[in-house]
Amino acid sequence: MNVLVIEDDATLSKNISAALKAEGMNVEVAFDGKLAERMMLKQKFDCVVMDINLPGKNGFDLCREYRKVDSSTPVIMLTAFGELEDKVIGFDCGADDYLTKPFYMRELMVRVNTLVKRSRKFGSREVENDVITAGDLSINDAQKRVYRKGEEIRLTPREYQILRKLAEKPGEIVSKNELIAEIWGRSFDTNTNTIEVYINFLRNKIDKPFGTSCLKTRVGYGYFLDFS
């Protein structure tokens, strides 16, 4: 497994690298955003761990640009801030997970392994029918493209996976815990508000521009698609 660590704190970068290598992973290191961007464009990684506050190019901009050329490699963001707004921006830029400093190295290892396994699972899944249709929503699973009323909607990898899960059985409620287990793995903290953040992102993309709401919440139970 090849992991890129982008962290300008030399001590933290060294500690993260040592922990990853102890798990048998190959590690590349970058200390600024500009260098990291060149490395990400030249080489394929299984996972990227990046700080937000980087010299040259910050993590938000770096992740946003990376997603234009690579929509599947898991990205874990690190930051010294614990504000919800930073998490929202990070997820909106295409990050898959988020750790606030200080954190336990063991927790980082679990998240890296979980995200890589999930990424490989979704990347290699065979689909009998490449197109999933739910109401006026169409999902081309082979191309990872989503359309509503014939208009393409650009989604991040995690937004896509959540929507795909809901579209497999439109009208049926899918719980928050089921979505987390399916996409992030059972080691992920079920008390996090990550799913709520992504559901809000999805509503802003698949509902709001079209003036009709198909992504519904059943409080205390979960989420479902309803086109009635």
SS3 call for 142? coil
pLDDT single digits (tens) 129-185: 578 888 889 998 877 889 998 899 999 888 998 999 999 888 999 998 888 887 777
CB atoms within 10 A of CB 41: 11
* DSSP single-letter state for residue 208: G
Residue 50 and residue 91 in one domain: yes
Residues 105 and 86 in one domain: yes
SS3 for 105? helix
Question: What is the C-alpha separation between 24 and 129, in angstroms, rounded?
Answer: 37
Query: Do residues 140 and 116 share a domain?
Result: no
pLDDT at 97: 87
pTM for the model:
0.63
| Alpha carbon distance 26, 73 (integer Å) | 15
Same domain for 190 and 100: no
| Higher-confidence position of 192 and 148 | 148
Give the CATH number, domain containing residue 155.
1.10.10.10
pLDDT over 70 at 122, yes or no:
no
Instruction: Tokens for 211, please give them.
Output: 């003036």
Locate tokens 């300008």: which residue?
8
Map tokens 């963001």 to a residue: 77
Cα torsion angle, 98, 157, 88, 34, sign: positive
- Cβ–Cβ under 8 Å, residues 64 and 90: no
Q: What is the CATH number of the domain that holds 119?
A: 3.40.50.2300
Q: Residues 55, 83: one domain?
A: yes
